[in-house]
Amino acid sequence: MLNITATRRNNRRSSELNMAPLIDMVFILLIFFLVTTSFVKETGIEVSRPTAATVTGQSTATILIGIDPGNRIFMEHREIDVRAVRANVERALAENPEAAVVVVADRASSTGTAIQVMDGCRMAGAQNVSLAASLPEGLGP
């Protein structure tokens, strides 16, 4: 004779789902994505970029240097002196020699300051130095 109660009790035990391997898998995926993600270092300031119709994107890893309207220079969320641009760019290029330097200057900043910063970048050994701009209103996607 079949014992229905014992059969139901056995079915309940066998239908449990072990969550430990699933949680382990989620953590492994999380670690994988954290390790493979490249983080962009920002300048640390908000600027109003000038517009240009011939703007092109930068495909390589970049070193960003910001210039605010008061001609203060920022790199990696800290203010630096114009004389320290070369040393900071040399240090950043030591970490990533193929990196391009992008100078993000506010439209109200002095052209002379932007030229001094770009000159310091070239003296540091940067091969690709460019000035950031944004597309005009009607041309952007």
Class in CATH terms, 62-131: alpha beta
What are the backbone dihedrals phi and psi of residue 46, each rounded to the nearest 5 degrees, phi first?
-100, 125
Angle at the Cα of 11 from the Cα atoms of 9 and 14, rounded to 5 degrees: 115
Report the pLDDT value the prediction gives residue 124, as an integer from 0 to 100.
Answer: 93
Could you tell me the residue ranges of all domains in the chain? 62-131
Distance, in Å, from the CA atom of 140 to the CA atom of 54, rounded to the nearest integer, reads 11
Read off the pTM: 0.64
Distance, in Å, from the CA atom of 80 to the CA atom of 74, rounded to the nearest integer, reads 6
Q: At what angle do helices 85-95 and 111-123 cross, to 10 degrees?
A: 50
* pLDDT interval class at 136 (50, 70, 90): confident
Distance, in Å, from the CA atom of 125 to the CA atom of 120, rounded to the nearest integer, reads 9
- 6-55 confidence digits (pLDDT tens): 666 665 555 677 888 889 999 999 998 888 776 655 666 777 777 777 77
Indicate the Cα dihedral angle 58, 90, 127, 61, nearest 10°: -20
pLDDT at 80 over 90: yes
CA 20 to chain centre: 34
